[in-house]
Amino acid sequence: MGRQKQGTSEPTAQAAHSERRIVHVDMDAFYASVEQRDDPSLRGRPVVVGGRGARSVVAAASYEARRFGVRSAMPSTRAERLCPEAVFVAPDFARYRAVSQQVRAIFARYTPIIEPLSLDEAYLDVTTHRGGLETATAVAEAIRSAIRDELHLTASAGVATNKLLAKLASDANKPDGICVVRPQAVDRFLLPLPLRYLPGVGPKTQQRLSALGLQTVADVRAQSEAQLIEWLGRTGERLFQQAYGIDERPVQAERIRKSVSAEDTLSDDLSLEALAPHITAMAEKTWRTAQRGGYSGRTVILKLKTADFRILTRHSSLGTAPTSADELAECATALLDRVGMPASTRFRLVGVGMTNLQSTEQDPQAEQHRLFD
Ligand SMILES: [Mg+2]
């Protein structure tokens, strides 16, 4: 296969540098660490946060459990097989949210530009606001110390000129580590990285890349953009940008969430009758996101895309918001009756969402935190 460069317009990593200073902070094994902090009997033991049932998944695994191969998002039954001595703890998202707010309050000492990605990680733009510190690295270290001293938890941090590099860097020295990718060291950091580390490269894409002989960022850099696009379409375009460490996305301070959803492109086009298990899977995913945020939604939405790319949505507004993944799945599945397409129609995508979000918490303190986010 043609491995030589064809294009003439490869950007250099140098050209891509802006003067931005971005920190990505990622709490180490967050839910599991909070559990171990708050219950000394769990320290040093393999802790799995999540239910034990056949349909439960691992929400977080302590480093002791990870040594057995347990990972978050893995079915709990698999985790039990891998690590029979694991201690299962039911997740307590209200507590994790409260700790997450404390972490965020520490960030806010240094910069107002905070973009949380989840309860346990966030991007910070410290280009102009550094809380009186000289460098972005000093900010990252001050934040890590404050988290350690005040909250008795550890965090890892990545410091770089954009979000992509900062996020990759925070992973480099986990747990309890920091990695600074200076502009002149971008290539040294990036080129040896296996492609699966890049955002958007899941197991499926990784397989495709590997079949093309692409294992590391350096392998991608040996290709022209045109070649990558020919092979991989839009994924190729994104990969090309990522391989040069280019990422112009700004750090966006949190906006108020109006909806929550999950969707999935099916590996085969399916008939309407065959969609129910996929709807259930998307309902579970949506429910997990909502649960972490402490809300549910009174309007349930089913989104489908036909094999010929027509998008249709059906929704129903409920008297009370769903209180479980099963309830959400049930509502979304019921909407199949209202699709009204010919029986021969095939579908390529299934999505489940909720809007009209409301807090599931009675705790007025939680509401107040949200107001002052
Ligand atoms: Mg984390």
Question: pLDDT (tens digit, 9 = 90+) per residue, 339-368?
Answer: 999 999 999 999 999 999 888 865 444 443
Ligand 1: centre distance to CA 244 (Å): 25
Contact 329, 279 (CB under 8 A): yes
Compute the distance from residue 346 Cα to the ligand 1 centre, in Å: 39
- Asked if 228 and 239 touch (Cβ cutoff 8 Å), the reply is yes
Q: Residue 175, preceding bond cis, omega within 30 degrees?
A: yes
**Do 333 and 219 reside in the same domain of the chain?**
no
Instruction: State yes or no: pLDDT of 8 exceeds 50.
Output: no
Tell me the HSE value of 175 on the side-chain side, using a 13 A CA sphere. 14
In this structure, the answer to whether residues 167 and 248 fall within a common structural domain is yes
Identify the residue with better confidence: 4 or 104.
104
Asked if residue 143 and residue 244 are part of one domain, the reply reads yes
Q: Please, which pLDDT band fits residue 18 given cuts at 50, 70 and 90?
A: low
* Residue 291 CA, ligand 1 centroid: distance in Å: 17
Q: How far apart are CA 57 and CA 72, in angstroms?
A: 8
Distance CA 357, CA 299 (A): 8
- Residue 361 confidence (pLDDT): 67
pLDDT (tens digit per residue) in 188-246: 999 999 999 999 898 999 999 999 999 999 999 999 999 999 999 989 999 999 999 99
**Which CATH number fits the domain that encloses residue 60?**
3.40.1170.60
CATH number of the domain to which 136 belongs: 3.30.70.270
Confidence of residue 75 (pLDDT cuts 50, 70, 90): very high
- Six token digits for residue 40: 């000394």
Cα dihedral 60, 65, 69, 73 in deg (nearest 10): -10
Residues 47 and 99 in one domain: no
Task: Please state, for a pLDDT cut of 90, what percent of the chain lies above it.
Answer: 79
What is the 176 CA–ligand 1 centroid distance (Å)?
Answer: 11
Catalytic residue set: 121
Q: Give how many domains the chain has, as a whole number.
A: 3
Q: Please count the other Cβ atoms lying within 10 Å of the Cβ belonging to residue 248.
A: 11
Residues 2-20, mean pLDDT to the nearest whole number: 49
> Strands 121-125, 259-270: parallel, antiparallel or unpaired by DSSP?
unpaired
Q: Residue 359: what pLDDT?
A: 83
What's the 27 CA to ligand 1 centre distance in angstroms?
Answer: 4
Determine the distance separating the centroid of ligand 1 and the alpha carbon of 74, expressed in angstroms. 16
Helix (H) or strand (E) holding 300: strand 295-306
Question: What distance in angstroms lies between residue 121's CA and the mean position of ligand 1's atoms?
Answer: 6
- Ligand 1 centroid–CA 295 distance in Å is 21
Using the 3D structure, point to which of 200, 220, 255 is the last residue of a domain: 255
| Contact (CB, 8 A) for 259 and 354 | yes
* pLDDT reported for residue 53: 83
Regarding whether 209 and 160 lie in a shared domain, the answer is yes
280 alpha carbon – ligand 1 mean position (Å): 27
Is there a single domain that holds both residue 290 and residue 354?
yes
Q: Regarding beta strands 22-27 and 178-180, do their DSSP bridges make them parallel or antiparallel, or are they unpaired?
A: unpaired
pLDDT number for residue 190: 97
Pair 362, 264 in one domain = yes
12 and 140 share one domain: yes
Residues 290/296, Cβ–Cβ less than 8 Å: yes
Token pair of 128, please? 């102009």
What integer best gives the mean pLDDT of the chain?
A: 90
How far is the first Cα of the chain from the last one, in angstroms, to the nearest whole number?
A: 52
Per-residue pLDDT at 138 exceeds 90: yes
Q: Check whether 280 has a pLDDT greater than 60.
A: yes
**Closest C-alpha among 140, 78, 77 to residue 111:** 140
Same domain as 40, residue 26: no
Q: What's the 147 CA to ligand 1 centre distance in angstroms?
A: 14
Q: How far is the CA of 269 from the centre of ligand 1 (A)?
A: 35
**Per-residue confidence (pLDDT) for residue 206, from 0 to 100:** 94
> What average pLDDT does the segment 40-49 reach?
97
**pLDDT average, residue stretch 88-100:** 95
Of 20-29, 100-109, 142-151, 315-324, the one with minimum mean pLDDT is: 315-324
**Pairing label, strands 259-270, 87-89:** unpaired
What is the predicted pLDDT for the residue at 238? 93
Enclosing domain of residue 305: 259-371
Q: Which range (15-24, 251-260, 302-311, 335-344) has the least confidence?
A: 15-24
User: Does 84 score more than 80 pLDDT?
Assistant: yes
Q: Which of 152, 160, 224, 132 is nearest to 24 (CA)?
A: 160
**233 and 293 part of one domain:** no
Q: Which of 34, 184, 205, 202 is nearest to 120 (CA)?
A: 34
pTM of structure: 0.73
User: What integer is the mean pLDDT of 19-26?
Assistant: 96
Q: Apex CA 20: angle with CA 19 and CA 25, to 5°?
A: 150
The beta strands (E) that lie in 183-293 are given as 259-270
| Four-residue CA torsion sign, 288, 289, 294, 298 | negative
**Can you tell me whether residue 24 is helix, strand or coil?**
strand
Considering only CA atoms, which of 172, 173, 107 is closest in space to residue 136? 107
* Higher per-residue pLDDT: 301 or 6: 301
Q: List the CATH number of the domain containing 340.
A: 3.30.1490.100
Q: Does residue 4 register a pLDDT over 70?
A: no
pLDDT digits (tens, 9 = 90+) for 241-278: 999 999 999 998 866 678 899 999 888 899 999 999 99
Distance 307 CA to ligand 1 centre (A): 37
79 and 98 co-located in one domain: no
Last residue of a domain, one of 199, 225, 255: 255
Domain boundary pick from 91, 108, 134:
91
Nearest residue to 83 via CA among 95, 100, 66, 97 = 66
Q: Are residues 49 and 185 in the same domain?
A: no
Q: Please report the pLDDT score of residue 333 as a whole number.
A: 96
